[in-house]
Amino acid sequence: MKNNFYPLKSIKFAFASLATFLFLSTAAIAQVPTASVTTDTTCVGTPITLTLDNANGIIQWQSNIGAGWVNETNPGFDSSVYVVMPVQDIDYRAYVVGASTDTTNVLNIHVIIVAPPTNTTVDSTRCGIGPVNLSASGTGQLLWYETPTATEFINQGNTYTPFINGTTTYYVANTDSAGGAGMGSSVVITELNVGSPADMLEIQNVSAAPVDVTGWTVAISGSYSDINNVNTSLQTLSGTMLPGDMMAWSDAGGVGTTWGANMLWNPGNFPTFTGWAIILDDVGEIVDFVPMEWPATNIQGMNATIAGYSITIGTEWVGDGVDHGTLPPGSSLQRMGNSDNNDLSDFMEGIDNGLITNPNIVMPFPGGVCESPRIPVTAYSLAPPAVTTTTSPLAICQTDTVTFSASSVNPDYIYTWDPPTFLNTIIGANVIAVPTNTITYVLLATDTAADCVTSDTFFVDVGIIPSAGTANAPVDTVCVGATTAISVVSSVGNIQWQINDGTGWVDATGLS
């Protein structure tokens, strides 16, 4: 009996110990507060959102610009959602005090600060109206605006030649590409052809501004089974892509430039046929990433080394990759819409059209570049010698004539009239017009030697020639107190009936 008893007791004790172990292990598993950010690259002064998950206790966001951690004091510093507007590279973390004290992971935020352009305007003064030549210099592409807060630029480049009607101030900003990283779309992957007639990759600048892509890298996958395998050929970009500019690479026989190594893209389904393409900027930030067929778990687990940078995907793609299935010959996966949603909803199947803008894409996409502060550039218009003008008469009837005259203390003015309609000449200080309808003429007084121009406008009100028409009455003799109807036909202009009882004509009232 003893021999049977001890083993049984031993077994009970083992189960009790196991139960205790499991209980303690469960209690020890605690969710660590985790911080995340909408983007780790931002333009200076642009708000970004910090989010804290799994926080149980009092929250205190902290920041560090290199001199040590300090408590944040702006609104939201003690909330799980904190909006910040950094003006320099900075790290953030959250300090959570509860049952235990936890410090979250550190968020490294890169702030793109763009230096204002150097104002080197030339020929920015002229006499009167006309073109002026403005110029500025900067390290990136320059954008010109009509106002300090305008959302649409009116010119791009180092020079701008506007036509001014008077002294006018414009505003110019220097730009730097923000790449991807949540700053909006600049250069994105727009088309993927998998096998027919050749594997092909197309990228395009879908932003409203030029993008300097010098030092950027385009890479693709190098394996159907290993998501971290990178194709042996990398494309290093240089120069500037203007809005709408495209580049393409393919296997031999396809559009664009030959990639250099087998692109390893073929139609099929996971896990047999997979692929991805990526664009990195000159500091290794993801500008755009598009996977094909890979499930979301594989995409989020990706940790590849590309051009010396360790690349993980994070929010640069959400969900499963684009399903290319078995694309029929002559078709491809094409980007559509007007924004980069970083998921498979961005793509559709369409007719292969490499290096031609996709028919269902709408450009420009928002965002894509960071701007410097805008600096004012003033184009000065000096007052030209005055011109004295006359119009005689100011209002006429059709077939009548009107005379325009111009004179000035400047004897070198040449007078030009526009439009030429109804004029006896378009050049001269005195012209005659016989307009048949109301019209406005413009006079330009130009001194070519002094590069001086002024202008004036002439409005002529032209009335229609009236016609009395023919009056009719059904009877010409009536009894006293009786009524009769009178009428007029073929009249032009306003009608006023008049009565003459033998003492003279007077306007009639009460008649219609």
Strands (E), 27-84: 34-37, 41-43, 48-53, 58-64, 70-71, 81-84
* 270-320 tens-digit pLDDT: 566 789 999 998 889 899 999 998 999 999 999 999 999 999 998 889 999
Give the pLDDT band (50/70/90) at residue 474. confident
Whole-number percent of the chain with pLDDT over 90: 42
Report angle CA 267, 269, 273 to the nearest 5 degrees. Answer: 60
- Structure confidence at residue 127 (pLDDT): 87
Quick one: pLDDT at residue 271?
A: 62
pLDDT at 1: 35
C-alpha span between 334 and 20 (Å, rounded): 58
Total length of the chain: 512
Lowest mean per-residue pLDDT among 7-16, 135-144, 357-366 = 7-16
CB 143 within 8 A of CB 116: no
User: Of 215-219, 382-386, 410-414, which one has max mean pLDDT?
Assistant: 215-219
What phi, psi does 300 have (nearest 5°)?
Answer: -70, -20
Query: Which residue reads 């980007």 in tokens?
Result: 335
What pLDDT is recorded for position 15? 34
Q: Is residue 35 exposed (0-12), middle (13-18) or buried (19+ Cβ within 10 Å)?
A: buried
**Statement: residue 65 has pLDDT above 90:** yes
Q: What is the mean pLDDT of the segment spanning 129-136?
A: 91
Cβ 428 vs Cβ 455: under 8 Å = no
φ, ψ (nearest 5 deg) of residue 115: -70, 140
Secondary structure E strands in 124-262: 125-128, 130-131, 134-137, 142-145, 155-156, 159-160, 163-164, 168-177, 187-193, 200-205, 211-212, 217-220, 235-236, 240-241, 246-250, 257-258
pLDDT tens, position by position, 89-130: 999 999 998 766 788 899 988 888 888 998 777 777 888 888
β-bridge mates for residue 382, sequence order: 127
Question: Omega of the bond prior to 197 within 30 degrees of 0, cis?
Answer: yes
Nearest to 204 by CA among 365, 89, 81: 365
Residue 335 has pLDDT above 90, yes or no: yes
pLDDT(155) > 50: yes
Look up the pTM and report it: 0.55
* Residues 419-433, mean pLDDT to the nearest whole number: 94
CA distances from 392 to 232, 256, 389, 458 (A): 82, 67, 10, 11
Q: Binning pLDDT at 50, 70 and 90, where does residue 253 land?
A: confident
Q: How confident is the model at residue 343 (pLDDT cuts 50, 70, 90)?
A: very high
Picking from 110, 251, 113, the residue whose alpha carbon sits closest to that of residue 173 is: 113
pLDDT at 7 over 60: no
CB 328 within 8 A of CB 358: no
